[in-house]
Chain A
Amino acid sequence: MKKLRMAIFDFACCEGCQLQIVNMEEGLLDLLDIVEPVEWREAISDQSEEYDLAFVEGSITREEDEQRLKDIRQRARILVALGACAVNGGVNRLKNAPDMDEVRRCVYGNSATMPHLATAPTKAVGEVVKVDFEVRGCPMSRREFTYIVRCLAAATTPVVPTYPVCVECKLRETVCRYEFNEVCLGVVTRAGCNAPCPAGGQWCYGCRGLVDDPNVNGAKDIMDKYGKTVADLRSRMELFNSVEARQCQGQ
């Protein structure tokens, strides 16, 4: 079987998802049996003209990045968005709320008008080019990344969960965060991470994005049941799902 020519690119992000790949240790050696890295700034110095499989990490926040991404898309047979920033804008999207000049001033202070700091509203990779597959999460899960690469190398479509995180908490017998009187986003967030946050005593931050048909109205009723408000729910969603949070109206 011919190895897939793989490239990894990063845009606006912390590069933590790439770090997950580098940290795979023995898993990385297995991976190298089925893919051949041809461009990967964090690990090798080579560059290539074409890729079977291009992973794009990070979100798009500058105009020149859009051009660079389009160029990558043209060279790539399969393009995969890697991690929350790439899939739905992730934490970077937080800045889209207020006006952009305000954002620049707040972040860069006196240097706000420097041309290389001309930041634009955050876009997910899929808002600029066609994305074939997604590896969700912040950071992405190594297990899921490996699974997806294997599926693509075997020329089949990966099957990733479309159901909420609750399923995985129940399977791990994690005591529900609502029992600790916390607002947890697990009820509307895509599973696939194996629910490490609730198992570690933290509510779900929703880093994998919302399920296809999230019952947001249901979530509002639940806030009442647990003595919380929609504002509580919205504030939790702000971090990784700010677009949906703003659509979530009510008290």
Chain B
Amino acid sequence: MPAKKLSQSALALWVRKLIETRRVVAPQAKAEHFAYAPLSQAEDLRLDHDVTILPPRKYLMPPSEVLLRFTRKDGYTSVIEHEPMILFGVHPYDVAAIAQADRYFLHDRPDIHYQTRRRSITIVASDVQNASEDVFAACLGTATVHDGFDVLLTRVGDAYVIESRTPAGDALLALAQDLQEADPVSLGRREQVWEDAQKLLRRQVLKCNPQELPALLDAAREHPVWEKRSQTCFSCGSCVTVCPSCFCFDVEDELDPDLQSGTRRRQWDACLLSGFAVVAGGHNFRKRREERYRHRFYRKAKYLPERFGFMGCVGCGRCVKACTAGIANPVEVYNTLLEGAS
């Protein structure tokens, strides 16, 4: 469907209409920050958010989700949970991260739990209006996106250019009133927004092409940066808990009150936590903070690119903010390695 144009008031009416008919989840204010939450009124929608505390992955793979139910008598049955929803106002770097999660969970043998939730989610992406202070998405090619969403919203002056890419997106647009054809001026302004995003979403500058990182890390295993920066690491896992490109999980059983039945749940896990690589019997294959700290960077910039073809980082900068010790910033780490390499 060709791009359309919506005035701000028409956008608000459209959102109201969407809320009436669907479950809409969108960025809203939380203290001085923003978080995705179910939207109950259009006024709470904050398309001007800089970044949310957690990425929208909490809806694609909830922090705790039931995989199976069991009873002692009848064994295990799958529980495939899903809830149709519109993820509204998703920034391009998060759209990119969802595409990564798709690749991670759906390649080869698909994970049916992820797949079912994913299929029931419609993504309304939104170009960034305000850059967060730590963002470096432009360095990773995720300041703008051209696929991986159903609808894209771009603010141009007092109006929005809106473009649907899928039948699901078309169905949402069909609920909008006063939808006009996007005029060449608005489309030109949208081009300008995309161009500006390359500068705006570059608050920190990675001094190399991300494709060079695997080779850089190959030679950096003994680099002093790992020991030095990890000295103040609390092994609290905040950096990976807020990461849109982290997918590791743990699985635990929980008994019902009668002890005869229960659920098997999967929970987000974090490779920075001390128990992550402990096997039964107690041996810890990544015992030292330094080893866990280093693993995160290797997983993201070497192992994932080599295995899946994507870098496990979209430059959202959430880890930079979340780390109390101030040591999680990937740009600082990679640039330090580059200094040594040059």
A interacts with B: yes
Complex Cα distance, B265 from A147, in Å, reads 14
Contacts of A170 in B (CB 8 A): 53-54, 237-238, 241-242, 322
The yes or no answer to B223 lying at the interface (CB within 8 A) is no
Contacts of A150 in B (CB 8 A): 255, 257, 259
B236's closest neighbor in chain A, by CB?
A: A166
Contacts of B233 in A (CB 8 A): 215, 218
Nearest-neighbour CB distance to chain B for A197, whole angstroms, equals 15
Complex Cα distance, B237 from A132, in Å, reads 28
Q: Which stretch, A72-80, A112-120, A157-165, touches the partner chain B?
A: A157-165
The yes or no answer to B211 lying at the interface (CB within 8 A) is no
The yes or no answer to B188 lying at the interface (CB within 8 A) is no
Q: Contact flags (1/0) for B162-173 with A, using CB distance below 8 Å?
A: 000000000000
Task: Determine chain A's interface SS by DSSP, over half rule.
Answer: helix
A30-B257 in contact (CB<8A): yes
Contacts of B237 in A (CB 8 A): 163-164, 166-167, 170
B236-A33 in contact (CB<8A): no
A212-B324 in contact (CB<8A): no
A163-B324 in contact (CB<8A): no
Q: Which stretch, A52-60, A83-91, A171-179, A243-251, touches the partner chain B?
A: A171-179
Nearest-neighbour CB distance to chain A for B329, whole angstroms, equals 13
Complex Cα distance, B30 from A151, in Å, reads 37
Q: Which stretch, B2-10, B95-103, B113-121, B267-275, touches the partner chain A?
A: B267-275
Contacts of A19 in B (CB 8 A): none
Task: Determine chain B's interface SS by DSSP, over half rule.
Answer: loop
A162-B274 in contact (CB<8A): yes
Task: Tell which of B31, B259, B322 touches A1, judged by Cβ atoms closer than 8 Å.
Answer: B259
Contacts of B274 in A (CB 8 A): 162-163, 211-213
Contacts of A1 in B (CB 8 A): 259
B234-A164 in contact (CB<8A): yes
B37's closest neighbor in chain A, by CB?
A: A173
Contacts of B259 in A (CB 8 A): 1, 34, 150, 153-154
Complex Cα distance, B231 from A217, in Å, reads 8
The yes or no answer to A17 lying at the interface (CB within 8 A) is no
Count A-B contacts at CB 8 Å.
101
Nearest-neighbour CB distance to chain B for A180, whole angstroms, equals 9
Contacts of B298-325 to chain A: CB distance below 8 A: 322, 324-325
Task: Tell which of B238, B252, B254, B325 touches A167, judged by Cβ atoms closer than 8 Å.
Answer: B238
Task: Tell which of A30, A31, A173, A187 touches B234, judged by Cβ atoms closer than 8 Å.
Answer: A187
Contacts of A222 in B (CB 8 A): 232, 324-325
A175-B31 in contact (CB<8A): yes
B236-A187 in contact (CB<8A): yes
A167-B32 in contact (CB<8A): no
Complex Cα distance, B268 from A166, in Å, reads 14
Q: Contact flags (1/0) for A28-50 with B, using CB distance below 8 Å?
A: 00110110000000000000000
Q: Contact flags (1/0) for A8-34 with B, using CB distance below 8 Å?
A: 000000000000000000000011011
Contacts of B242 in A (CB 8 A): 170
The yes or no answer to B258 lying at the interface (CB within 8 A) is yes
A151-B235 in contact (CB<8A): no
B235-A213 in contact (CB<8A): yes
B238-A175 in contact (CB<8A): no
B324-A187 in contact (CB<8A): yes
Complex Cα distance, B254 from A157, in Å, reads 12
Contacts of B258 in A (CB 8 A): 33-34
Contacts of A90-115 to chain B: CB distance below 8 A: none
B327's closest neighbor in chain A, by CB?
A: A218
The yes or no answer to B326 lying at the interface (CB within 8 A) is yes
Contacts of B207 in A (CB 8 A): none
A34-B32 in contact (CB<8A): no
The yes or no answer to B33 lying at the interface (CB within 8 A) is yes
The yes or no answer to A221 lying at the interface (CB within 8 A) is yes
B30-A218 in contact (CB<8A): no
A215-B270 in contact (CB<8A): no
Complex Cα distance, B65 from A153, in Å, reads 24
Other A-B contacts than A166-B324, A173-B30, A221-B325, 20 sampled, CB-CB below 8 A, are A34-B258, A34-B259, A154-B255, A162-B273, A163-B270, A163-B273, A163-B274, A166-B234, A166-B236, A166-B238, A167-B273, A175-B30, A175-B53, A176-B322, A178-B324, A187-B324, A215-B234, A215-B289, A217-B232, A225-B326
Closest 6 CB pairs of A and B: A30-B257, A166-B236, A218-B232, A170-B241, A173-B53, A175-B31
**6 A-B residue pairs with CB within 8 Å:** A34-B258, A162-B275, A175-B32, A187-B234, A215-B232, A218-B234
- Give chain A's interface residues, CB within 8 Å of chain B: 1, 30-31, 33-34, 147, 150-151, 153-154, 159, 162-164, 166-167, 170-171, 173, 175-176, 178-179, 186-188, 211-215, 217-219, 221-222, 225
